[in-house]
Chains A and B, each alone.
Chain A
């Protein structure tokens, strides 16, 4: 880790100001992924803007009426996992489940929601500074010609990383929106709001970044839509070992069931693509139908249609199909 300067920010606006002031300054929340990247020599920012010193950024505001829950960017995974505002609401259960299943107890106490969304891929070629891969500005994806057992089965033709954020998978299924802020030229704070799908960047668009955050821009809030009547969600992941391990596959689903039929469905796959992977064909297969075993099976088949595994990760196709079936079943039986 190279030496760096530090600014302990007192407020979000002062943090935004500080970020704008120094070239290459990087915001630090929990610091879990950032310190890892810095220790590995993947990142060497000259200045860190510390968001942990800002009070109130970890607040979780429960949904009320037409207003959905609003999550502070510095809410920890442990807070999300234990929050009654999430775990106690069937529509939001997937997020609490994703947070509870992530990493280790220690990491969940440290890692923040915004940090989790912005963490960089765990691809072992990307994480080794001596591999000058596409994502680091090189001209080759080493996973294509190397060991790709834990890599992408969708959108993997350019760079085969999988997106590492469990929260991103769940939030994508829940239709969350991200509020982003940056210091404007006039000194005022500029705010924009994005759907999850518009936040993440596929390699075909820009292989060197995972999201659209501009320099000096921060996630200032995560907004969930208000729970709908009959809406329930679920998140499932499968790891090789059941203690700390990165998932082989993840699925988050959100279903709104009215009058015995699925009125709205979202199915998002994780650990299969460089971005949270929306399974639109599966969603289309579900909407307007009454759920039964055959439908669930058909949706799972549809979810993996078009998967294009590499040499070592073909197992992910049947594995994730099973997870889709299970997640749908879990969501349908939940109250």
Chain B
């Protein structure tokens, strides 16, 4: 006796809808220009994403992003997440996607200085805002003090959570240069590390805080 439930159509409804999103941007989004210039106000008004009250998408949405201080123009779908745009069109694969539902923090980037999950942020919502990723932490070959402390304190194991962990810590240190351990714990409460590197993350942030206290 065949089961004629709706789930019998090869795949469940969920699997279709759910997976139809995965990595959509990787192929669809394209990076058209790159500029080291700081974005000028008002210039973004030419892109589709900057238009107001007009219907845009689903495909071919031009978008200006300021990523790590450089202005980048990408073309995305409306459904393209910021994580997909960064990892796909912009090839900034430091930002990781591990749960794709905002539960693990591997995709954490700073948006106007605040840590957010780039997997639950639409790329269009980052238009005209400052995006900072792990690739923007070092100045050329010179590591930031936070990165240096992560190296020295062995605050990485497999390293997959590291970019998100770093961005949450940076978000904290930018607001609070000398956080207590409790504040560090709270700041990375949304960053899952399956290797259990947390004690060394706490030590690394404390080391940065201590050096700031001295200087």
Contact = CB atoms under 8 A, between A and B. Distances in A.
Interface of A: 1-10, 14, 18, 31-32, 35-36, 38-42, 44, 47-48, 50, 52-53, 78, 103-107, 109-110, 128-130, 243-244
Contacts of A2: 17, 20-21, 79
Rank and list the top 4 A-B pairs by shortest CB-CB distance, nearest first: A104-B190, A41-B17, A1-B21, A129-B14
23 contacts: A3-B77, A5-B58, A6-B55, A6-B61, A6-B78, A6-B124, A7-B54, A7-B56, A8-B53, A9-B53, A40-B14, A41-B15, A44-B17, A104-B102, A106-B105, A107-B102, A107-B117, A107-B120, A109-B111, A129-B12, A130-B12, A244-B103, A244-B189
B124 A8 contact: yes
Interface in B137-196: 168, 171, 186-190, 192
B52 A35 contact: no
B108 interface: yes
B73 to A, nearest CB: 17
Contact of A128 (B14, B21, B59, B117): B14
Given A18-B53, A53-B52, 9 more contacts: A1-B18, A1-B20, A4-B58, A78-B114, A105-B187, A106-B105, A106-B115, A129-B18, A244-B103
A103 B190 contact: yes
Contact of B115 (A5, A50, A52, A109): A109
A130 B14 contact: yes
Nearest to B190: A104
Interface centre among B17, B59, B100, B188 (most CB of A within 10 A): B17
A6 B49 CA distance: 9
Contact of B49 (A5, A8, A47): A8
Contacts of A39: 18, 21, 100-101
Contact of A8 (B18, B56, B188): B56
Interface of B: 7, 12-18, 20-21, 24, 49-59, 61, 77-79, 81, 100-103, 105, 108, 111, 114-117, 120-122, 124-125, 168, 171, 186-190, 192
Contacts of A244: 103, 189-190, 192
B58 A41 contact: no
Nearest to B58: A3
The secondary-structure label for the interface of chain B is mixed
A67 B5 CA distance: 57
Contacts of A6: 55-58, 61, 78, 124
A129 B117 CA distance: 23
A114 B179 CA distance: 31
A130 B7 contact: yes
Nearest to A34: B120
A39 B103 CA distance: 14
Contacts of A36: 101-102, 120
A4 B17 contact: no
A76 B49 CA distance: 22
Contacts of B121: 31, 110
A40 B100 CA distance: 10
Nearest to A47: B55
A3 to B, nearest CB: 4
A32 B81 CA distance: 12
A110 B121 CA distance: 8
Contacts of B21: 1-2, 38-39
B105 A7 contact: no
Contact of B24 (A1, A7, A47): A1
Nearest to A1: B21
B13 A129 contact: yes
Nearest to B12: A130
Nearest to A14: B53
A47 B53 CA distance: 12
Contacts of A103: 190
